[in-house]
């Protein structure tokens, strides 16, 4: 009997450029503009085509182009500069004379409400997990239902990253209005969702122990349909945006 295995093929990185592999697998690059520009410098159109995702980007680069970069002194100097900065930040706490938090003791707070990078689909991934858990609960899965509810609640918090996604779609001068609009729609949606769930549950007569179990199944099922429709709409918009970027790249070429 034959066994099938899946392989992900990456181009061979020539000597002098192998740091790109380690850099692409460390989120350090997401908050260092010089590191992002290093990837973009390799091939701006391919970088945009990959959605700014260095892992996906590395699978698209032709081998001959990588070999050419290994002989490009300007690119190698840029790579070495990023590599030194990366090594500086990755030092263990014991090797930092200025202390773990720098000379001024500054600590940065990163709110997931603003995401990490456009190439990391936290919103779609989180809501997909939440939708899956809710779907299993609606389907009548009782084993581990408490765990499913916990995962559903935690994964649903990914919805806050929509602030970052939509804010980038408008000029910076409109960011305040975009966030205010999202807050209004968000609170209105939560109120209508709770009201709708209660309305559906109320359609069934109460039993001696409370509301009818099948009422919860229908109410949560309708909530799941709304959540799934929202996820599908967001994912279709993401695909449309990627298609527009591809068309723009072909037009430029």
Each residue's pLDDT tens digit in the chain (253 positions)? 567 777 666 778 888 899 999 999 998 898 889 999 999 999 999 998 888 889 889 889 999 999 999 999 999 999 999 999 999 888 776 666 666 666 666 666 665 555 566 666 656 667 778 888 888 887 877 777 788 888 877 777 666 666 666 666 677 778 788 878 878 887 888 888 888 888 888 888 888 888 888 888 888 888 888 878 877 776 676 555 555 545 544 444 4
* Residue 112 falls inside a structural domain: no
Angstrom distance (rounded) from CA 217 to CA 198: 12
Let me know whether 85 and 152 are in one domain: no
Let me know whether 141 and 246 are in one domain: yes
**Cα torsion 227, 232, 234, 235: sign:** positive
**Based on the structure, what is the number of domains in the chain?**
2
Angstrom distance (rounded) from CA 136 to CA 126: 16
| Cα separation of the two ends of the chain | 48
* Residue 184 falls inside a structural domain: yes
Residue 195: Cβ within 10 Å count? 10
Bridge partners for 210 per DSSP: 207
* Residue 14 falls inside a structural domain: no
Let me know whether 128 and 247 are in one domain: yes
The model's pTM is 0.55
Q: Contact at 8 Å (CB) between 229 and 235?
A: no
* Residue 127 falls inside a structural domain: yes
Angstrom distance (rounded) from CA 201 to CA 219: 6
Angstrom distance (rounded) from CA 174 to CA 243: 25
Let me know whether 247 and 190 are in one domain: yes
What domain range is 242 assigned to?
Answer: 120-252
Let me know whether 89 and 132 are in one domain: no
Model confidence over 28-37: pLDDT tens digits?
Answer: 898 889 999 9
Let me know whether 166 and 248 are in one domain: yes
Q: Contact at 8 Å (CB) between 107 and 155?
A: no
Let me know whether 133 and 78 are in one domain: no
**Cα torsion 14, 16, 17, 19: sign:** positive
């Amino acid at each position: 009997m034959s066994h099938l295995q899946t392989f992900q093929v990456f181009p061979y990185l020539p000597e002098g450029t192998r740091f790109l592999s380690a850099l692409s697998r460390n989120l350090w690059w997401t908050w260092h503009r010089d590191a992002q520009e290093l990837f973009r410098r390799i091939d701006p159109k391919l970088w945009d085509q990959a959605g700014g995702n260095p892992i996906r980007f590395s699978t698209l680069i032709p081998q001959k182009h990588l070999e050419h970069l290994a002989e490009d002194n300007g690119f190698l100097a840029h790579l070495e500069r990023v590599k030194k900065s990366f090594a500086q930040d990755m030092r263990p706490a014991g090797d930092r004379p200025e202390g773990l938090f720098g000379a001024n003791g500054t600590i940065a707070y990163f709110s997931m409400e603003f995401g990490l990078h456009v190439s990391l689909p936290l919103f779609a991934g989180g809501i997909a997990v939440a939708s899956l858990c809710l779907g299993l609960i609606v389907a009548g899965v009782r084993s581990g239902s408490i765990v499913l509810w916990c995962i559903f609640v935690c994964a649903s918090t990914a919805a806050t990253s929509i602030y970052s996604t939509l804010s980038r779609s408008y000029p910076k001068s409109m960011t305040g209005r975009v966030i205010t609009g999202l807050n209004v729609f968000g609170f209105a949606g939560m109120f209508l969702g709770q009201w709708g769930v209660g309305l559906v549950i109320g359609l069934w007569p109460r039993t001696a122990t409370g509301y009818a179990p099948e009422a919860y199944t229908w109410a949560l099922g309708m909530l799941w349909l709304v959540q799934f429709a929202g996820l599908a709409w967001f994912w279709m918009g993401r695909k449309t945006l990627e298609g527009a970027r591809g068309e723009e790249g072909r037009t430029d070429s």
